């Protein structure tokens, strides 16, 4: 009887976990479907806008060289080029291997960029970096929190710090399709090397005519595109998170169903053994009663 009761308790627990996982799977699916349409639609715009910006930079590269030389002088005074690495992780667990894939990439990046400033988005990544700082006291990391419904103004404070760094990198999980994602390590910003700059006069003689001023056009497009691109990558990581959570919870729900079937079989066997034992006891008692008569 005790084993039957234990199996019943296990069934209740497994069913509760399965229902919870199924609810999370449905929530993640709804979030993924609603976000996927906007991310995929805006991704094409951002890619096209990036190509346009590259053309504009070719037309007026001398302007950027002048600004970067001013920035370079300030960096040379510090004796070392300043690097920043932005990491996008999740604020919650129960999302499969999403965070572990990011942590593995971090373990490869940190030794190559030991003096960088790490800006970590997401409580899971922040917890991981707190452990890393205990092992490496010279590691600098700064937590940065954003809400679920991220907008440009939520990233403004972080974007405003871009001008203080020579190179800025981003680690995030990129959405490819519903079953595939990839943790990428990309450069958001990097100064132009002087050796790569050819004759400035030939650069200024472009094939386009701009009204009223190409300098203002490049400045405005660059600022707006930087915001749009960074937000696009944040949303891309969120989409990858929802996809990972959906698959993980679907797997957990399916495993709960399979486990319930196994527990039901064990319960039937245990109950059958208990019934057989009772029948044997009744028959033995009846036999003793008959012998007594």
The Cα 135–Cα 269 span in angstroms is 53
- Per CATH, the number for 25-251 is 3.40.1380.10
- pLDDT of 237-267, one tens digit each? 999 999 998 999 999 999 999 999 998 898 8
What are the boundaries of each domain within the chain?
2-9+253-292, 25-251
Average the pLDDT over 92-104 and give the result.
91
pLDDT of residue 232: 84
- pLDDT of 19-53, one tens digit each? 999 999 899 888 888 888 888 877 777 777 667 66
pLDDT of residue 229: 78
Question: How sure is the predictor about 279, in pLDDT bands with cuts at 50, 70 and 90?
Answer: confident
Question: How sure is the predictor about 107, in pLDDT bands with cuts at 50, 70 and 90?
Answer: very high
Higher pLDDT, 46 or 230: 230
Question: How sure is the predictor about 127, in pLDDT bands with cuts at 50, 70 and 90?
Answer: very high
Residue with tokens 């701009």: 210
Is residue 171's pLDDT more than 50?
Answer: yes
Report the mean per-residue pLDDT for the chain. Answer: 78
**pLDDT over 70 percentage in the chain:** 75
Higher pLDDT, 125 or 200: 125
- pLDDT of 172-225, one tens digit each? 999 988 888 999 998 875 443 333 333 444 444 445 555 556 666 666 666 667
pTM comes to 0.72
């Amino acid at each position: 009887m005790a084993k039957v009761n234990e199996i019943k308790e296990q069934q209740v627990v497994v069913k509760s976990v399965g229902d919870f996982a199924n609810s999370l799977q449905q929530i993640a699916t709804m979030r993924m479907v609603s976000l996927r349409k906007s991310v995929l639609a805006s991704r094409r715009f951002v890619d096209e806008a990036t190509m346009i910006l590259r053309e504009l930079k070719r037309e007026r590269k001398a302007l950027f060289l002048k600004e970067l030389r001013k920035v370079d002088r300030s960096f040379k005074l510090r004796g070392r080029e300043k690097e920043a690495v932005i990491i996008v992780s999740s604020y919650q667990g129960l999302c499969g291997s999403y965070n572990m894939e990011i942590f593995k990439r971090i373990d490869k990046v940190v030794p190559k960029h030991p003096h960088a400033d790490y800006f970590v988005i997401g409580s899971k990544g922040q917890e991981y970096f707190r452990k890393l700082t205990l092992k490496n006291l010279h590691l600098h990391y700064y937590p940065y929190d954003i809400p679920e419904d991220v907008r440009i103004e939520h990233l403004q404070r972080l974007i405003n710090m871009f001008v203080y760094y020579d190179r800025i990198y981003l680690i995030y999980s990129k959405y490819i399709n519903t079953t595939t994602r990839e943790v990428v390590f990309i450069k958001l910003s990097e100064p132009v090397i002087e050796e790569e700059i050819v004759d400035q006069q030939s650069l200024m003689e472009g094939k386009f005519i701009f009204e009223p001023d190409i300098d203002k056009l490049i400045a405005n497009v660059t600022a707006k595109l930087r915001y749009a691109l960074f937000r696009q990558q944040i949303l891309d990581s969120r989409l990858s998170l929802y996809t990972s959570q959906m698959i993980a919870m679907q797997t957990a729900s399916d495993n709960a169903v399979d486990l319930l079937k196994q527990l039901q079989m064990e319960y039937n066997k245990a109950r059958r053994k208990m019934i057989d034992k009772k029948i044997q006891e009744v028959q033995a008692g009846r036999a003793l009663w008959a012998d007594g008569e």
